Amino acid sequence: MPELLQLLPSYLAAHVQLVLAALALAISISLPLGIAAARAPRLGRAVLAVAALVQTIPGLALLAVMVPVLAAIGLRSIGFLPALIGLTLYGLLPILRNTVTGLIGVDPAMVEAARGVGMTERQKLARVELPLAMPVIVAGIRTATVWTVGMATLSTPVGAPSLGNLIFSGLQTRNYASVLLGSAAAALLALLLDGLVHGIELGLARRHRGPVVASLGGLALLAVAALVPALGAAFRAGERPVVIGAKTFTEQYVLSELLALWVGRSTGLPTEIRASLGSTVAYDALASGDVDVYVDYSGTLWATILERPAPPPDRATALAEIARFVRERHGIELVCNLGFENAYALAMRSRDADRLEIRRVGDLAAHAPSMSIGGDYEFFARPEWRAVRDTYGIRFATERSMDSSLMYQAAAAGDVDVISAFSTDGRIAGLDLRVLEDDRGAIPPYDAIVLASARLAREQPGVIAALRRLAGRIDAPTMRAANFAVDEHGRAPAAVAQDMLPALAGAATDAPAP
Amino acid sequence: MIELDRLSRRYGVHVAVAELSLTVADGELLVLLGGSGCGKTTTLKMVNRLVEPTSGRVRIDGEDVSALPPHELRRRIGYAFQRVGLFPHMTVAENVAVTPSLLGWDARRIARRVDDLLEMVELDPGLVRDRRPDELSGGQQQRVGVARALAAEPRLMLLDEPFGALDPLTRDRVQQSFRRIREQLGLTAIFVTHDMSEALLLGDRIAVMDAGHLLQVGTPRELLTAPAHDVVRQMVETPRRQAAAVDALLAPSGGDGGAR
């Protein structure tokens, strides 16, 4: 908990920055648009239809889709910008709709009175229509505020830190205190912002300057406070920290902490972790230079970045081809192979495996028609699954997609018979599951490899050299034990990484990498 | 002087006002009288262009109103609305001050004008100035409406049933004070009403309308003595018939029966 509280201020600050910027943008776009739409009913209907359509896109998808869209037009595609644009789009509808509704709902007698006393169109809008529609418009802004605060937690996977970091990493590492802290902080922030907007509204309606000044002051204070960490970072040293990325699962959190400790210790450079990135977002971030280092897996890169339909002929060819491809395409350096593999692996309850005498994937074929298999969200759409199915000729009675963190428990509890486990997951041993041998090599190798950005390779050869010393230093049992410590014993990834360090340091000095 | 010259307004096939010609002399109050839907309000709104005529002209002191930007025209003409039309988000003082502030008067002159006008319509400025319209009674609101119409010192006023929502006693008092104010200021005015008694009491001349057509224009005496049309006759006779009915109630028992 204390270490969580230490993380809170920077995530909260980033969250507030995002929300305030998105709301300011959403208001400044949708107010004028709403005014125009209220004047021209045809335009109004079209604008509202488009805004409503945007609203129907699930929040996470809307943010995620910003990444390729921005990349396609050559803008920074991960981090603040895609999150800001996604959140702004999401905040448009409630403000827009309430502006239109509020203006259309102004009593026609008031509109005629405004004309009758000699107001121009502009004066009529500013002095009569907007003030009378204000309660409805502000209600829209308040709705948008609460939505945006909640939705901003989804900016984490597109690379913008937010309170979502606490929630995503907490869910993956089963750290529910972290989930609770992130959610509670978001809820309190929503209440606070809603209260401040309400304060402005009350002050305006009753024409008391007090509440307006106090609420605006509160917002300004919040904005300044949110900028403090960023400003602090700008003043600290002159050095840009080495940014280490992590995708959204336990092993990645542990490895990012480990790389940070290792780089800090070997080079003395400051480091920063950008965690819970979407799978391809992490690679895009490395290509664009937003992230300097992260760990990926050869099989994943082979399929999603090199886009090869067929599995690689062998491990060495895969690594060589990947290294060549990422260097030529994005200047990315394949620094080293950590020494373990985190592959898809079919696993089942040891008890059942013994009873049915199943040791290899091939042994499943006879029993599969009466069994169910559980896989993570993408597994059944992946080439690995097709390869397993076709190589061994297996057909399961049912296929069920589920969150990868729930899969192991589902197998242990008997909800499914076989799962598409990850070979380094600590829960395989912890829950008495057994990995079946892939004797015909249907599943491609998934060697964990360290990738470094072009910038890092060019400007910090010392970091590259330090990272290279990690080659072959982490084996599968070590990684599995580390993952297990986080997943089943609830230890913090940073603490687990800290414990791994002495062995690595010893190994690295005892036997320098070849 | 206001001249309406063959003024027409059509909505699709419906003719709201048909070829209406009228002249209002300087300092005169002309009442436009008729039942609901007869076109009297539409005629009034064509004078300050809240409604644009389908054909015909309106001239004020010889100048065609369509030559002026509408908002400038309206700032020169006081307008009291049928539904009062006070802005609920403004105080009484701000409502009254709205046209002067659009005209760019300085704050001191506006403040003085607001107090004068509130006194003129028999409201205590100290009491009502900073109130919101919804804190006032219906009669007070209508008086504020008249004060607002007078605020920019117009020489011409348009009034659309301004006293419609008042109880008879208040209405009588407000009518008296309006009459006094108009005479003080020498205003030219067009006053729309469906109430014959009000028309007879306030109007220098009365124009009777029915179904978009002008039936007769004349002084109250002319209308009473020589109605040119059956509809006009029925209208002008209504107040007398009512008065006779009241007299009849009092006559037989010499007033005793009224006490029961």
Distance from the Cα of A115 to chain B's closest Cα (Å) equals 7
Residue A442 domain-assigned?
A: no
Put simply, the answer to whether A116 touches B102 (Cβ < 8 Å) is no
Query: Cα angle at A261 between A259 and A264, to 5 degrees?
Result: 105
Spatial CB neighbours of A141, under 8 Å, sequence gap ≥ 6: A23, A27, A94, A95, A98, A197
Residues A452 and A430 in one domain: no
Query: Could you tell me the pLDDT band of residue B240, with boundaries at 50, 70 and 90?
Result: confident
Residue A443 domain-assigned?
A: no
DSSP assignments along A215-236, one per residue: HHHHHHHHHHHHHHHHHHHHHS
| Nearest Cα residue in chain A from B71 | A118
Residues A228 and A249 in one domain: no
pLDDT digits (tens, 9 = 90+) for B122-174: 889 999 999 999 999 888 888 899 899 999 989 899 999 888 777 888 888 88
Which spans in B48-167 are helix H? 70-76, 92-96, 98-102, 107-120, 125-128, 138-150
Residues A331 and A480 in one domain: yes
Distance from the Cα of B191 to chain A's closest Cα (Å) equals 15
Distance CA A35, CA A44 (A): 9
Query: Could you tell me the pLDDT band of residue B260, with boundaries at 50, 70 and 90?
Result: very low
Count of residues making up chain B = 260
List the single range of A70-74, A271-275, A388-392, A431-435 with lowest mean pLDDT.
A70-74
With H, G, I as helix, E, B as strand and everything else as coil, classify residue B28.
Answer: coil
Which chain A residues contact residue B103 at CB under 8 A? 118
Place of tokens 């895009």: A284
Residues A56 and A184 in one domain: yes
Residues A280 and A317 in one domain: yes
Residues A412 and A494 in one domain: no
Residues A28 and A120 in one domain: yes
Query: Could you tell me the pLDDT band of residue A490, with boundaries at 50, 70 and 90?
Result: confident
Distance CA A174, CA A490 (A): 7
Q: Which of A435, A470, A497 is the last residue of a domain?
A: A435
Put simply, the answer to whether A109 touches B98 (Cβ < 8 Å) is no
A123: nearest CB among B70, B89, B102: B102
| Nearest Cα residue in chain A from B96 | A117
Residue A110 domain-assigned?
A: yes
Q: What is the CATH number of the domain that holds A490?
A: 3.40.190.10
| Domain tally, chain A | 3
Distance of CA B166 to the CA centre of its chain: 14
Residue A30 domain-assigned?
A: yes
CB of B72 within 8 Å of any CB in chain A?
yes
B74: nearest CB among A110, A117, A205: A117
Residue A356 domain-assigned?
A: yes
With H, G, I as helix, E, B as strand and everything else as coil, classify residue A43.
Answer: helix
Residues A316 and A338 in one domain: yes
B98: nearest CB among A109, A117, A132: A117
Distance of CA A63 to the CA centre of its chain: 10
| Nearest Cα residue in chain B from A130 | B89
Provide the 10 A C-beta neighbour count for residue A192.
16
Say whether pLDDT at B196 is over 70: yes
Residues A369 and A494 in one domain: no
Q: Which one of A117, A125, A137 makes the best mutation probe of the B interface by having the most chain B beta carbons within 10 Å? A: A117
Residue A460 domain-assigned?
A: yes
Can you name the residues that pair with A277 across neighbouring β-strands? Answer: A247
pLDDT digits (tens, 9 = 90+) for B54-98: 999 999 998 999 999 999 999 999 998 877 789 999 999 999 999
Predicted pLDDT of residue B245:
87
Residues A249 and A294 in one domain: yes
Say whether pLDDT at B258 is over 60: no
Residues A246 and A227 in one domain: no
Q: What is the ipTM of this complex?
A: 0.87
Q: Which of A406, A435, A464 is the last residue of a domain?
A: A435
Which chain B residues contact residue A201 at CB under 8 A? none
Domain of A462, in residue numbers: 242-342+448-510
Domains annotated on chain B, with CATH: 28-50+67-251 (3.40.50.300)
Predicted pLDDT of residue A510:
44
Which chain B residues contact residue A116 at CB under 8 A? 48, 50, 74, 79, 81, 85
The answer to whether B191 touches B40, Cβ cutoff 8 Å, is no
Say whether pLDDT at A505 is over 80: no
Q: What is the CATH number of the domain that holds A48?
A: 1.10.3720.10
CB of A115 within 8 Å of any CB in chain B?
yes
- Helix-strand-coil split of chain A, %, nearest 5: 65, 10, 20
Query: Could you tell me the pLDDT band of residue A234, with boundaries at 50, 70 and 90?
Result: low
CB of A475 within 8 Å of any CB in chain B?
no
Put simply, the answer to whether B50 touches A132 (Cβ < 8 Å) is no
Instruction: Name the residue type at position A77.
Output: S
With H, G, I as helix, E, B as strand and everything else as coil, classify residue A291.
Answer: coil
Distance from the Cα of B2 to chain A's closest Cα (Å) equals 18
**Tokens at B94, concatenated:** 């701000």
Across chain A, what does the average pLDDT equal?
87
Q: What is the CATH number of the domain that holds A423?
A: 3.40.190.120
| Nearest Cα residue in chain B from A135 | B89
B74: nearest CB among A109, A116, A132: A116
Distance from the Cα of B50 to chain A's closest Cα (Å) equals 7
pLDDT digits (tens, 9 = 90+) for A290-342: 899 999 999 889 888 888 877 788 888 999 999 999 999 999 999 999 999 99
Predicted pLDDT of residue A62:
83
Residue A441 domain-assigned?
A: no
Residues A164 and A312 in one domain: no
Predicted pLDDT of residue B167:
81
Say whether pLDDT at A49 is over 80: yes
Q: Which of A234, A255, A289 is the last residue of a domain?
A: A234
The whole-model pTM stands at: 0.76
Residue A77 domain-assigned?
A: yes
